[in-house]
Structure 1
């Protein structure tokens, strides 16, 4: 675990209006344990990266994964001597994160202050599509490049915004591979229930769900939109039970999946497959649901079993070990995407003869490199097309990669046992 002292992302959660800064300076990194300066490795200038993040509020469980991976990656880059930019200068990176409290309006104001008052030219996106949408508008208006690791709604990328880039595939593809996995089972589903929150990301997810289910010949017997403020899903789950749906596709965030897992158990609602779009893959989901979280599925654009080469962490496995050592949990794709955000900006600084927002934006558009997150190369719309892998929480063994078969850790347990059988 990260020791007390120095930069701490967790400590920023209560910093509301001030300059909440996480900084890992290369000048400190280049001193040995006796305090002797190593000399020439110290960078001569600083590039500041700014972002808002959900360090408190409804989305904070996932927001901290991004914040801590940002911090760790910046630390590693600075510890290695900083960024050798194409303009001949070696820079250290300074990370400025402010708590948006999971509030889109607050996030928008933070980014506006970054570009109007703080003079920050290079932006990291916030978490969730609903927060990234207004934040990306600020980036476009100010002509500042923003690299996002937590915004996947197609609405973000259908607005001719040349300044926003995303490490995630678009939300309408999140369920495709999971449904294909279910259809490949000996007794595939014939009916499905769709429950989705009303925000842009989750509505995009279920647009893809409906399309994929239709192509597979699966009848949608429940299709309900859940108001954002809803915290009791029992009425909706009763509809699922009454319709005898084979699979439940719940498009919401981690808190929604936790509620659903608890209420499926308490209401004794049986489905062959319960699925959510990734927020249910975190250790905190497991901690909150216990055995009630068993058998849930979720998609990921990142497979931990594929050990990719990485210039900052050396490999995927080294990154996983670093996160576990520093913060005490196993990373999910949110952590990996966050690290790739920082590395994308790092690569763009290295590629330009003059470090300016426009040259950096153009370099991001052309970037192509291997990372712990896998290959990074943006499509014309600023996203990275990628097929999802599928994870399932399994009893005893925990989170297991179950699809596709060629890289899986375990077979999917399908259908899920009934509550009376557990």
Structure 2
């Protein structure tokens, strides 16, 4: 367990647990998580911290490495509650870790905000759990709508990890929405992390006549899948999910022409985004990926909840967050209504000539029309 803060140790204190994959396959996600969280803490503390009974309090991070493990994620929640003495937890990021961690947090009456988990089960029937991201149900619909309505795709295929909640749910939602819009799903292929070879699946997709291939898989898997598909002669429109935002720039030539859903774009002219991107670049020498932007907003939400509640008690902060309306973050306006899922839009980005370009924004349906 690692404790980080900006300079100063003035009471009152708001201790925030941060669960991140500092080791394992998603260590780049872990690095972005810690960087963004520390940037947010430093900025809030430098601006006077949060307000509690007329006094200014400081934020502190207590960091746990989950090693991209579901079991370790659940254990990290207990460590942060029992030893870290935190008032709220930010993380884990990916759904396969966030779902079990959220279950432990909810059972322990501990406020938890997952920045990037998009699976509905993360927050379902869990009043202590919130997310900053949109849900898989929404982004799966977004990519199906984009394929049919913006690109005019008639025949699509999907390749996904059937053992992962994130991948599987996105694949299912995309299939239902694409077919509901009149499209034909000509191939629906799966694999598992422990058996990642997909040659036979890609050959069937190639022979299916698919015009587009949706790959709702994690960023560390996608480049290898696309490289293998191209080697097999599969020429198609590549479609992806929010995890693609974390794919390293070295793979952009391989993915040229691909489209994927995202939470924000660093090229936005919104002043909040511009300031965040500038500060992140200055601190770390690179652009912040989606996970970084979502984590930055999650820390801001925790501080806003403490200020609104006038308390660092988890229950008071949870109640304040549940009634938060119109928090202006770098990933957009965030409001919570009847659940821990925010109302927010998605953007679709395009990989082109080594750059990530904004293509369009797709809004959610109003409440009651979902």
TM-score (norm: length of structure 1): 0.81
- 1:297 aligned to which of 259, 268, 274: 259
Residues 1:202 and 2:187 are matched in the alignment: no
Residues 262, 180 of structure 1: CA spacing in aligned structure 2 closer, same or farther, 3 A cutoff? same
Equivalents in 2 of 1:224, 1:295: separation in Å? 22
- Tell me which residue corresponds to 2:314: 357
Equivalents in 1 of 2:246, 2:193: separation in Å? 21
- Tell me which residue corresponds to 2:352: 394
Structure 2: gaps (5+ residues): 364-370
- Tell me which residue corresponds to 1:76: 43
- Tell me which residue corresponds to 1:384: 342
Structure 1: gaps (5+ residues): 1-18, 28-42, 310-314, 407-422
Kindly indicate whether the alpha-carbon contact (under 8 Å) linking 1:349 and 1:355 is maintained by their aligned counterparts in 2. yes
Residues 1:146 and 2:104 are matched in the alignment: no
Q: SS of the counterpart of 1:48?
A: strand
Equivalents in 2 of 1:202, 1:325: separation in Å? 34
Q: SS of the counterpart of 2:254?
A: helix
TM-score (norm: length of structure 2): 0.92
- Tell me which residue corresponds to 1:339: 296
Equivalents in 1 of 2:328, 2:216: separation in Å? 31
Equivalents in 1 of 2:213, 2:297: separation in Å? 32
Residues 47, 251 of structure 1: CA spacing in aligned structure 2 closer, same or farther, 3 A cutoff? same
> What is the CA-CA distance between 1:193 and the residue it aligns to?
0.7
Kindly indicate whether the alpha-carbon contact (under 8 Å) linking 1:177 and 1:387 is maintained by their aligned counterparts in 2. no
Q: SS of the counterpart of 1:118?
A: coil
Residues 112, 326 of structure 1: CA spacing in aligned structure 2 closer, same or farther, 3 A cutoff? same
Q: SS of the counterpart of 1:175?
A: helix
Equivalents in 2 of 1:99, 1:215: separation in Å? 41
Residues 388, 290 of structure 1: CA spacing in aligned structure 2 closer, same or farther, 3 A cutoff? closer
Q: SS of the counterpart of 1:253?
A: coil
Residues 1:63 and 2:42 are matched in the alignment: no
Residues 1:168 and 2:133 are matched in the alignment: yes
Deviation per CA, 1:284-322: give whole Å up to 9, x if none: 1x31x252121121101224444445xxxxx21010111
245-254 or 189-198, larger mean C-alpha shift: 189-198
Equivalents in 2 of 1:361, 1:375: separation in Å? 19
Residues 1:44 and 2:8 are matched in the alignment: no
Where does 1:7-406 land on structure 2 (aligned, <5 Å)? 19-26=1-8, 43-85=10-52, 87-158=53-124, 160-185=125-150, 188-198=152-162, 199-271=164-236, 273-282=237-246, 284=248, 286-287=249-250, 289-308=251-270, 315-368=272-325, 369-396=327-354, 398-404=355-361
Equivalents in 2 of 1:322, 1:232: separation in Å? 41
Equivalents in 2 of 1:102, 1:405: separation in Å? 31
Deviation per CA, 1:242-293: give whole Å up to 9, x if none: 112111001110012111122123222111x111212222361x31x25212
> What is the CA-CA distance between 1:59 and the residue it aligns to?
1.8
Residues 384, 268 of structure 1: CA spacing in aligned structure 2 closer, same or farther, 3 A cutoff? same
Deviation per CA, 1:59-110: give whole Å up to 9, x if none: 222232222111111111112222122x233211111112111011011111
Aligned length: 361
Equivalents in 1 of 2:41, 2:189: separation in Å? 42
Deviation per CA, 1:372-401: give whole Å up to 9, x if none: 2211111312111333211111015x1001
